[in-house]
Homo-oligomer: A and B are copies of this chain.
Amino acid sequence: MTGQTAYQELEALFQKVHHFTHLSSMAYWDSATMMPPGGSKARGQALAEVSSLINDLVGSRKTGDLIEKAETARDGLSDWQQANLREMQRQHFNASSVNSELVRAHALASSRCENAWRELRMENNWKDFEPLLSEVIDLTREQAAIRSEASGLSPYDALLNLYEPGQSSSTIDTVFARLKAYLPDFVKQTVEQQKGEVLIRPSGSFPREKQRALALDLMKAVGFDFNHGRLDSSHHPFCGGVPEDVRITTRYTEDDFSESLMGVLHETGHAKYDQGLPGAWLSQPVGQPRGMGIHESQSLFQEMQVCRSHAFLSFAGPLMAAHLSNPETPNACWEADNLYRLYNHVQPDYIRVNADEASYPLHVILRYELEKDLVNGNLKVRDIPEAWDEKMQEYLGLSTRDNYRDGCMQDIHWTHGMFGYFPTYTLGAMNAAQLYHAARKAIPNLEEQISRGDFEALNHWQSQAIWSWGSYYSIDELMLQGTGETLNPDYFIHHLQQRFSPL
C-alpha cells in the first residue's frame, strides 16, 4: 500500500467515525431534551457502546499503522491534508492510550452519576452523591495516569490536552495568577462603584413562549442558521448536535427572562462556530473545532463582547419590549442604559453559570485548583465541600457550608467525568476579549453596525479569523493569525475595566 492510499483509507475511516459521532451526539442531545426518565439506562448503554466503537476505530492498531504509512507520503499531501493527518494522529494517540474497557467503565460510571445528580442536587444530598462521584473520579485518575505515562505530560495536563490540545497547566497557572491577583479587589471595587446605580428590573410574568420567540428573533439576527439547527429546552443549557444540525438549549424562568436570553446568545456563539466550520472537511479531524478554549471564546465573543455591549442592547431593547413588555414593567426598563446596567451588574454569587463577567473567572479558578488536586490525588472526594467553601470565602467572600446544591454539586462537569475542562471557560473569556479587540481594529464602525443589528461584517471577520480554519492551526497559531499575537490576558483585564467603568 502506498502512503497516498493509506491517507485515503484514513479519510474513509474518519468519515465512518463522523457518522457514528453524529448518532452519538444526537442521542446525547435527546437524552437532555426529550428522553423520559425510564429511557436513561438503555440510552446510557447505547451511548457507551458507540463511544467504545469510536474509540476502537480511532485507536486501533490498524489506524496507527495507516497513519505511519501515510506519514511517508506527507510531501505529496496538500496543506489541509497534512494538518488533517496531524489531527488524526492526535485523535489516534488519545484513543489508543486508554483501553476501551476503561473508557466504557468511565462512561457508564459518569452516566450513573449524572442521572442520579439531577435528583440529588435538588435534595442537597451530598452523602448519596459522594460515592457516585468517587467512582467517576477513581476512573478518571486511572485514565489520567495512563495518559500521563503515554504522553509524558502530568496527569492533569494529559486530561487538559483532551480539551485544549497543546496547552499546559503551567501556562494556565501564570495567566490565572494574574487574574487571581487582580479580580477579587476589582470585584469589590465594582460592587462599591455600582452601589449608586438605579436599576429598573423587569417584573411580572414572561411566558416561555414569548421568551422563546424573542430568543429566536435574536438568534436569527446574529446569524444562527435555522436550516442547520434548533433551539430547545434542557435542565443544563448546552450546544450539541453536529455541525450540519446544531442543537442549542436553554432553560426558561417565567419570572426572569434575562438568564435564558443571554444563555441563548452564549450558546448561539458556540453554534455559529460549529455552523461555520470548513464545509469540505466536516467529516475529518481537521474540520473540527480547535479545542474548548477557542470554542468558549466564540460563545463569549457573542455573549460578553457583543451582546452585553451598549451597542447591542440599544438594538435589542426594542425587540425585547415588543415581545416581553407588560403592565408591570415600565418602558424605561427597555432603554439601552438601563439594560446595560442590568446586564453588567457585578454581584458575587454562589452559582458559576449565573456569575457576572468579573466574578466568573474566580469560579473557574476555584474549580481548576480543586480538580488539579483531585486528579493529582492531593484532595479526597469527601473533602471537596470544605475546600470549596474555603476558596469561595477567599475569592468571593461567600460561604457554601452545608449548601452543596449551590456549592460543589452545582455543575455537571465532574459528574459527567470531565476533568481538565473548567479552565477553558476563562481561556475562552481571555481569547474572546483579544479577538474582539482585533475585530474592532478591522471593522472601524463595528459598534455602529451592531447597534443597527447588522452582523454581516463581524460574522465574516469571525469566519476568516476562526471558524473556517477548523483545526488547521494549533491554538497559538490560530490566535496569532486571528489577532497578531498569542494569548495575552491584558485584553481581558482591559475589557473588564472598560465594561465596568461608569457609563
Interface of A toward B, CB cutoff 8 Å:
16, 19-20, 22-24, 26-27, 30, 34-39, 41-43, 45-46, 48-50, 225-230, 242, 244-245, 282
Contact = CB atoms under 8 A, between A and B. Distances in A.
Contacts of A23: 23-24, 27, 46, 50
Given A26-B27, A30-B26, A19 B227 contact: no
22 contacts: A16-B49, A19-B46, A19-B48, A22-B27, A22-B42, A22-B43, A23-B23, A23-B27, A23-B46, A26-B26, A34-B34, A34-B230, A35-B245, A36-B226, A36-B245, A37-B227, A38-B225, A38-B228, A39-B245, A42-B245, A42-B282, A43-B244
B27 A245 contact: no
A46 B50 CA distance: 12
Contacts of A48: 19
Contacts of A227: 36-38
Contacts of A20: 46, 49-50
A24 B228 CA distance: 20
Given A22-B43, A23-B27, A228 B49 contact: no
A19 B45 contact: yes
A48 B23 CA distance: 11
A42 B244 CA distance: 7
Nearest to A232: B34
B22 A228 contact: no
B229 A50 contact: no
Given A226-B36, A228-B36, A229-B36, A244 B22 contact: no
Nearest to A21: B46
Contacts of A27: 22-23, 26-27
A105 to B, nearest CB: 16
Contacts of A22: 27, 42-43, 45-46
A38 B50 CA distance: 24
Contacts of A41: 244
Contacts of A230: 34, 36
Contacts of A50: 19-20, 23
Specify which of A37, A230, A244 lies most central, judged by the most chain B CB atoms within 10 Å of its CB. A244
A429 B34 CA distance: 32
Contacts of A225: 38
A225 B37 CA distance: 11
Nearest to A247: B34
A41 to B, nearest CB: 7
A34 to B, nearest CB: 7
A261 to B, nearest CB: 22
Given A26-B30, A30-B30, A245 B38 contact: yes
Contacts of A34: 34, 230
A262 B124 CA distance: 44
A20 B43 CA distance: 10
Nearest to A37: B227
